[in-house]
């Protein structure tokens, strides 16, 4: 019985660890996306920091990435940047990879 209990605790710990890492990667990715979009919109350094925080906040509107994609795409179009939703999705994937790489290099 102890083996099962130990195994269950190990699985729970792994799940918690994986969930925490997924959250950290998404938060880092959203910050990176904010900086990417801010550069495209030619924002100042102060505006860039505020915009990156706004992108991070947008991720809490609903589950998944659609809220972030909508915000980025809408803001970029409003700023006169010619980009389609597919371009935003490509940037999201690229920044996810970069966020994962950064977090792995920190540990």
Q: Which of 64, 61, 58 is nearest to 30 (CA)?
A: 58
Residue with tokens 């890492």: 21
Sequence spans of domains, the chain: 2-106
pLDDT per residue as tens digits for the range 71-103: 999 999 999 999 999 999 999 999 999 999 999
The reported pTM is 0.84
pLDDT at residue 18 tops 90: no
- DSSP 3-state assignment of 85? helix
Which pLDDT belongs to residue 19? 86
Give me 4's structure tokens.
Answer: 């099962």
Task: Please state which CATH number belongs to domain 2-106.
Answer: 1.10.790.20
């Amino acid at each position: 019985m102890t083996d099962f209990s130990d195994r269950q605790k190990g699985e729970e710990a792994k799940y918690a660890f994986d969930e925490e890492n997924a959250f950290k990667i998404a938060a880092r990715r959203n910050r990176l996306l904010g900086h990417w979009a801010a550069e495209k919109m030619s924002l100042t350094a102060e505006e860039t920091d505020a915009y990156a925080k706004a992108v991070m906040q947008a991720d809490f509107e609903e589950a998944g990435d659609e809220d972030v994609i909508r915000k980025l795409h809408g803001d970029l179009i409003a700023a006169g940047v010619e980009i389609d939703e597919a371009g935003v999705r490509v940037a999201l994937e690229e920044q996810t990879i970069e966020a994962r790489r950064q977090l792995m290099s920190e540990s």
